[in-house]
Amino acid sequence: MECCNRLCIYEENGSCCLDEIDLNEFGLCGQCITISIDEITLKKLKKKTRERISAAEEISGI
């Protein structure tokens, strides 16, 4: 089953690793448990991601 919530503990490579889920009235997974990331770690990850994107763009000539 497809899952696009990268912060859910059950998401693995774009798929849900649970056999069954329940959807709430908004169509959202009822079993979703999201990972909390502190602000400092989040900023570091964002910066690292931007650097990787920039490096990839340089390599591909974008």
Instruction: Please list the pLDDT of the chain residue by residue as tens digits (62 residues).
Output: 899 998 999 999 999 999 999 999 998 999 999 999 999 999 999 999 999 999 998 888 76
| CB-CB contact of 1 with 31 (8 Å) | no
Longest dimension (CA), the chain: 46
Predicted structure pTM score: 0.61
Please classify residue 46 by burial: count the beta carbons closer than 10 Å to its beta carbon, then call 0-12 exposed, 13-18 middle and 19+ buried. Answer: exposed
Give the model's pLDDT for residue 60.
83
What pLDDT is attached to residue 3?
Answer: 93
Pair 8, 29: CB distance under 8 Å? yes
